[in-house]
Amino acid sequence: MLTKLKRRVQEWFTAEAKFLCNIGFTPNKMSILGLFLAFSSALIYTFWKFDPPLMLITASLLLLASGFCDAIDGIIARIYGKVTVFGSFLDSVADRYADAVTIAGIIFGGLCDPLWGFFAIVGSLLVSYTRAKAELAGVKMESVGLMERAERIIIIAFSTLIEILVRNAIWWAIVLLAILTNLTVLQRMRYFYLKTMNK
């Protein structure tokens, strides 16, 4: 859904992408940095009870920073002609790890029900898998469905900030993700079927 705003976001982040590239950051380095930030966020979610307000704020900011890196790596690649097959592969794999470890950290931290967390992880991974599989068959899947990665990051990050004031905000966010990610998978399956039913 938010992918429809990608061009505008890319324009906003062009200056930042140029600056980061000029100081030595390549698309692959940004992908790895984003993954490191996601792991750091997951670790803080796991141990958030040591200092709840500070830890939750930090986890949210690290997750948003991970999402920023995910946006920047592609912009650097396109601006400087550094788009590579391996870079695309690395970015995709790093994103899947980031999705899984973030929700796993929330589960281990006791911030959501493990079963809902499990379905949120499965749904998040399948949203990406259905897109990759469909595009291998020549069906564009970008912006199809409710819950792409940008939406997932925003929901988790902002529910984390709300958690400071409203108990169980993250719990409900994970329930929402579990439902909407799997609904997105069904949307994409239907879209793919309609596009290919006569082939």
Active site residues: 95
**Distance from C-alpha of 117 to C-alpha of 115, rounded to nearest angstrom:** 5
H-only helix segments in 80-113: 85-108
Conformation bin of residue 145: beta by default, left when phi > 0, alpha when psi is -120 to 50? left
Q: Please report where in the chains the tokens 């749904």 appear, as a residue.
A: 123
CB atoms within 10 A of CB 147: 24
User: Cβ contacts of residue 129 below 8 Å, gap of 6+?
Assistant: none
